Chain A
């Protein structure tokens, strides 16, 4: 079964760029059945989808974040990454990476990383 692990700084200054990486093990990131996604959860709030990437590099972003988000994939390292620019305190959250199984009739996240907390503060 897939295992995912987020990594990156836990503290980012306002106006800077948040950068996280997700390392996938137990399977190939090049699987055509999967997209790879980032989800965040602000303190005390619900889950928010940030965006997804396919193994070929096709990307899909939440319209509310699209202008600030870049997600990329590195198949040689079995990793995918998130960059969120111009961060503010509102971007403080636990950030999760997850595997997104896609089909004609459903999308669902079947495996999740443990999550990494990111605080935006000077």
Chain B
């Protein structure tokens, strides 16, 4: 399949936990990665592989996967986490194609 589906918008109260999901058939075979994008800035990788964080990414960010769904969890959301989040994976067709989800706008209340 050639699609990754995300909810367009999610909100969370300051300090609470939020889960952002990404669905797609390719996720049964390949891990998703997650990127955070703030207005006017380039995307930044926050989670990759099974559940790995690049250097400098706070440990309140974590990733998980089950079946055709990948999830990004922010435990104790902070005001600075308000951003767009995009999932990304490889297509499962075998053609080395790259997929992006449509993005989820996270609002921290």
Complex partner residue of A106 from B2, B48, B97, B103, CB under 8 angstroms? B48
Answer whether residue A90 sits at the interface, using C-beta atoms and an 8 A cutoff.
Answer: no
Band of interface residues on A:
20 to 34
Judge if A113 is at the interface, Cβ distance under 8 Å: yes
Main SS of the interface on chain A?
A: strand
Q: Is the CB of A109 within 8 A of B88?
A: yes
Q: Please report the C-alpha to C-alpha distance between residue A46 and residue B9 in the assembled complex, in whole angstroms.
A: 13
Asked if B43 contacts A107 (CB within 8 A), the reply is no
Q: Do the beta carbons of B98 and A100 come within 8 Å of each other?
A: yes
Known: A106-B30, A106-B49. A46 touches B98 (CB 8 A): no
Q: Are the C-beta atoms of A108 and B33 separated by less than 8 Å?
A: yes
Looking at A46, A100, A111, A112, which has the most chain B CB atoms within 10 Å of its CB?
A46
Q: A60-B95, A114-B42 are in contact. Are A46 and B103 (CB under 8 A)?
A: yes
Task: Among B2, B44, B89, point to the contact of A107 (Cβ < 8 A).
Answer: B89
Which of B29, B42, B89 counts the most A-chain CB atoms under 10 A from its CB? B42
Q: Which has the most chain A C-beta neighbours within 10 Å: B33, B96, B97?
A: B96
Which residue of A has the minimal Cβ distance to B89?
A107
**Which residues of chain A from 67 to 122 have any CB-CB distance to chain B below 8 Å in the complex?**
96, 100-101, 105-115
A interface residue numbers (CB < 8 A to B): 35, 37, 39, 46-49, 52, 60, 62-63, 96, 100-101, 105-115
Q: Can you report 24 residue pairs joining A to B where beta carbons are below 8 Å apart? A: A37-B98, A46-B86, A46-B103, A49-B97, A52-B98, A60-B95, A60-B96, A60-B98, A62-B97, A62-B98, A100-B98, A105-B29, A105-B31, A106-B33, A106-B48, A107-B33, A107-B89, A107-B90, A108-B49, A109-B35, A109-B45, A110-B48, A112-B42, A115-B42
